[in-house]
Amino acid sequence: MARNKYDVDEKLESEFNMGHVKRLMRYVIPYKKKMVITIVIMLIASVANLIGPYLIKVALDSKIPSKDVTGLIILSLIYLVTVIINGVCLNIKIKSMTDIGQSVILNIRKDLFEHLQKLPFSYYDSRPHGKILVRVVNYVNSLSDLLSNGIINLITDSFSLIVIIVFMFLIDVRLTLIGLVGLPILVGAAFTIKSLQRKAFQILSSKSSNVNAYIHESICGMKVTQSFSREKENLKIFNELSDNYRKAWMHAIKIQFLMGPFVDNIGNLVVVAVYIMGVAWIANGSITIGVLIAFIAYIGRFWGPINNIANTYNAIINNMAYLERIFETMDEEPNVKDLQDAYEMPEIKGLVEFKNVNFCYEDGQRILNDVNFKANKGESIALVGPTGAGKTTIINLISRFYDLESGEVLIDGVNVRDVLLNSLRKQMGIMLQDSFIFAGTIMDNIRYGKLDATDKEVVAAAKVVRAHEFITTLSEGYNTQVNERGSRLSAGQRQLISFARALLADPRILILDEATSSIDTETEMLLQKGLEELLKGRTSFIIAHRLSTIKNSDRIMYIDHGSIVESGSHDELMKYKGEYYDLYMSQYRMLEAI
């Protein structure tokens, strides 16, 4: 797929269907017992709340005319009890549903993050990371109120509506029929607004995603922004994206708020009609004042649940736009995954073989063309060549970060496609040019690949790769806190920590992709002995533009246009005087000039 950018709206691959709601309910089902109890409590509260108008009718039509003070006191006490019951039940409902809602949110976010860790590099290559982040945080959070209140409110308001209609019919059938006239009009309006509202909130979610993508990109590139004085231009872009979000928000809210006034206007018209007919019927003796007052109280409460249901309906439609995005991410199929009959990778010895390997990315451009080679156990293989030749692709295929177009990648004679990904990758060590450092202590970062390692083992690994010297000069040594991406450390220091991390993990196959590029020449000379220890007994693949670092490799392969052009030791290739010879001599002459 073409890379999506911060200024490109995301499009949903599939239309919304009720299956999304059913899928959401699967997250709610584990809490069904607690929800049933809460619903019962709220139904009791609803009945208690609806008894009030009927008590007023009895008081007006019976107790007051007969001057029954004792009866009025009893009615007042019953009314007070209903108010207390309603308050207590409401308090229980708020606590219970908040707990259920947040538990469901926790499980959805956990499943979403777990799935994101299974998606291949190609997924992250195809979209800004800010657009992924907004789904895990903002979109999941948007479901909170719907899950905490919406479901229960929908059930209890529906029940209240039925009970209110029953009470209304018991009081007066004619007034009830007048009160129900506006209901069909309201239902028709709701379905008309639905499609407009869903589309508006889909657009809003896209604009929100764009803003988040640009903020994430800008924060990650802030040093570059300030270095090139790009603040004004970036602010202009941000303001434009924010304005697009504001316009989308205003449009969505305008549609959302159509429902509330519509309900209120229909409710007011119905109440006016009830008043007109009620007063007329009181005049001719058809009904009593108590009946009219009680009925007006019920008709007011009738439109209350209607309004609540309309608001809940609004919330459901609004959140469906976010739910679609969440489930779209969960439904993203990893194109690199364990086969159905995949098995544990046996303990790796170190024999790596490429057989007729062809590979292209999703744009269809061929990267590797019929690559064949064999790396024996414990052999160090250096990959050199121009940028874009296919060097990094080769090492990515060894770890099966991508699947082949054709051919086979074998480790100890086992096809990497046939084994469980986790069992394959945990036996490998990969060090990249941009060594990622996580927020935490240096000790934690080195221990990242082997959580059960002792402090002594961590220190020993750091000493071997010459990281110990600079670590001990820091304020708290190995317990020094480092920021995300290791911003408090130099690029060379980050790479030394990565070397220690790789050594501690003790991988059988080691991949170094420009892993010494940020280390100065003096540090590199000190590191050579550590590297020898790191590479000892391991099959290793080294990508380096600084050819001095790979002179001692067992074999050097010159890659160009996706093919192995030359292969041999440093001395053999120098005698051959081909592409590698030209590359080495150009670097040598450059160093002499300096």
pLDDT, tens digit, 9 for 90 and up, residues 555-585: 999 999 889 999 999 999 999 988 988 888 8
- Residues present in the chain in total: 594
Q: Is the same domain home to 393 and 318?
A: no
Q: Is the same domain home to 263 and 376?
A: no
Q: Is the same domain home to 126 and 85?
A: yes
pLDDT tens sequence across 224-241 = 788 778 888 889 989 999
Amino acid 1: pLDDT: 39
d(C-alpha 138, C-alpha 161), whole Å? 34
**Domain assignment present for 52:** yes
Q: Is the same domain home to 121 and 216?
A: yes
Q: Is the same domain home to 44 and 96?
A: yes
Q: For residue 594, is pLDDT > 60?
A: no
Q: Is the same domain home to 354 and 310?
A: no
Q: Is the same domain home to 148 and 176?
A: yes
d(C-alpha 507, C-alpha 429), whole Å? 5
- Over residues 109-113, the mean pLDDT reads 90
Q: For residue 2, is pLDDT > 60?
A: no
CATH of the domain at 371: 3.40.50.300
User: What DSSP state is assigned to residue 343?
Assistant: B
Amino acid 266: pLDDT: 80
Q: Is the same domain home to 308 and 360?
A: no
Q: For residue 519, is pLDDT > 70?
A: no
Amino acid 355: pLDDT: 94
Q: What is the mean pLDDT of the chain?
A: 82
Under the banding of pLDDT at 50, 70 and 90, the label for residue 212 is confident
- Over residues 551-557, the mean pLDDT reads 89
380-384/539-543 β-pairing: parallel
**Domain assignment present for 568:** yes
**Domain assignment present for 210:** yes
**Domain assignment present for 96:** yes
395 contacts 457 by C-beta, under 8 angstroms: no
Backbone angles phi, psi at 178, to 5 degrees: -65, -40
435: left (phi over 0), alpha (psi -120 to 50) or beta: beta
pLDDT tens sequence across 61-73 = 788 888 888 888 8
**Crossing angle of helices 151-171 and 32-58, rounded to 10°:** 30
Q: Is the same domain home to 268 and 351?
A: no
CATH of the domain at 100: 1.20.1560.10
% the chain with pLDDT above 90: 13
**Domain assignment present for 434:** no
137 contacts 355 by C-beta, under 8 angstroms: no
pLDDT tens sequence across 389-422 = 888 889 989 989 888 888 999 999 999 999 999 8
Other Cβ atoms less than 10 A from the Cβ of 387: the count is: 7
pLDDT tens sequence across 466-493 = 888 888 988 888 998 887 666 678 777 8
- Over residues 506-523, the mean pLDDT reads 74
Q: Give the DSSP per-residue string, 44-109.
A: HHHHHHHHHHHHHHHIIIIITTTT-HHHHHHHHHHHHHHHHHHHHHHHHHHHHHHHHHHHHHHHHH
User: What are the start-end ranges of the E strands in 497-562?
Assistant: 509-513, 539-543, 555-560
Identify any residues that bridge with 540 across adjacent strands, giving them in sequence order. 380, 510
**Domain assignment present for 8:** no
User: Tokens at residue 25, please?
Assistant: 């309910």
Helices (H), 331-420: 391-398
Which of 42-51, 112-121, 384-393, 561-570 has the weakest average pLDDT? 42-51
Q: Which domain holds residue 84?
A: 18-330
> Of 330, 357, 384, which closes a domain?
330
> Of 305, 330, 355, which closes a domain?
330
Q: For residue 592, is pLDDT > 70?
A: no
**Domain assignment present for 436:** no
Q: Which of 13-17, 359-363, 562-566 has the highest mean pLDDT?
A: 562-566
d(C-alpha 195, C-alpha 471), whole Å? 60
**Total structural domains within the chain:** 2
User: Tokens at residue 328, please?
Assistant: 């779209």
- Over residues 323-343, the mean pLDDT reads 85
Q: Is the same domain home to 403 and 288?
A: no
Q: Is the same domain home to 313 and 373?
A: no
Q: Is the same domain home to 214 and 295?
A: yes
> Of 330, 357, 387, which closes a domain?
330
Other Cβ atoms less than 10 A from the Cβ of 504: the count is: 22
Q: Cα angle vertex 111, ends 335, 121, to 5°?
A: 30
Cβ-based neighbours of 309, under 8 Å, separated by 6 or more: 154, 157, 158, 161
576 contacts 582 by C-beta, under 8 angstroms: no
**Domain assignment present for 138:** yes
